[in-house]
Structure 1
Amino acid sequence: MSRPKGYIYAEVTVTDLATFNGEYAPRVAPVLARYGAKFLIAGGNPDVREGGRDVKRIVFLEFDSADRAREFYDSPDYQDVIGHRFVSADTHLYILEGSENGDARVG
């Protein structure tokens, strides 16, 4: 049986578009490619139906495993870039492991 995929899910509110697009985005792209990340979602206008959150933009990345997503996030290459996001966006970010069997069992 193969290992479940890993994901990074982020809710992003860009506060400085020039820095986000001019400094962060071009620097993060090659690092994401190095770790095999695939964009599943990268966009605005989420239709929030529950929870009362004001979410402006969702980013959902797929990796070969949750461990690979952690390797990306903790890598020196990403840590060199992340400061550009910290100064240009407010973010809630999560590293997730996919379901092994496609079910939703708890425990």
Structure 2
Amino acid sequence: MTGRGPKAYWIARVDVTDPGAYAEYMALGPAALVAGGGRLLSRGGRAVALEGPPPRERTVVIEFDSMEAALACHASPAYRAARARREGAAEVEIVIVEGLDE
């Protein structure tokens, strides 16, 4: 163990309903996530459901150094501005899960 707490993983499941408006979110969202300490691990690549409901159109996984960092990023002014652009452009589910303690 390194003495650091567990990392956190932001997992978003997204169905885009208005591609034009969603493009406005994409112009701001990823940069806000990175500025908030996020590391994009997956952003809309191929997804396969082995159990449960089918995957949404896009599945996004972002790693943060901690749960607190992920929550702070979500609440940040930069990400709030990005979310405002996404309003009505997509159906979105976001969960943040803690990783295993290092």
Q: TM-score of the superposition, structure 2-length normalised? A: 0.87
Query: Which one-letter code corresponds to 2:96 in the other structure?
Result: I
Identity %: 32
Q: Which amino acid aligns with 1:3?
A: G
For residues 44-70 of structure 1, the C-alpha deviation after alignment (integer angstroms, 9 at most, x for no partner) is 431111112342210000111110000
- Provide the residue aligned with 2:64 in structure 1: 63
Q: Which runs of 4+ in 1 moved over 6 A?
A: none
- In structure 1, distance between residues paired with 2:61 and 2:30: 14
- Structure 1: gaps spanning 5 or more residues: 102-107
For residues 99 and 55 of structure 2, what CA distance do their matches in structure 1 show? 25
> Aligned residue for 1:104?
none
1:44–1:56 contact (8 Å) kept in structure 2: no
CA deviation string 1:75-106 (max 9, x = no partner): 122112202222211011101111115xxxxx
Check conservation: 1:48, 1:55, Cα contact below 8 A: no
Q: Where does residue 101 of structure 2 map in the other structure?
A: 100
Is 2:11 the partner of 1:9? yes
Q: Is the 8 A contact 1:14 1:89 kept in 2?
A: yes
* Residue type at the aligned position of 1:19: A
Partner of 1:105: none
Number of equivalences:
100
Which range moves more in the overlay, 82-91 or 58-67?
Answer: 82-91
**Structure 2 counterpart of 1:40:** 41
Determine helix, strand or coil for the equivalent of 1:2.
Answer: coil
- The two structures have a TM-score, normalised by structure 1, of 0.84
For 2:34 and 2:93, the matched residues in 1 are separated by 22
Give structure 2 stretches of 5+ with no counterpart. Answer: none
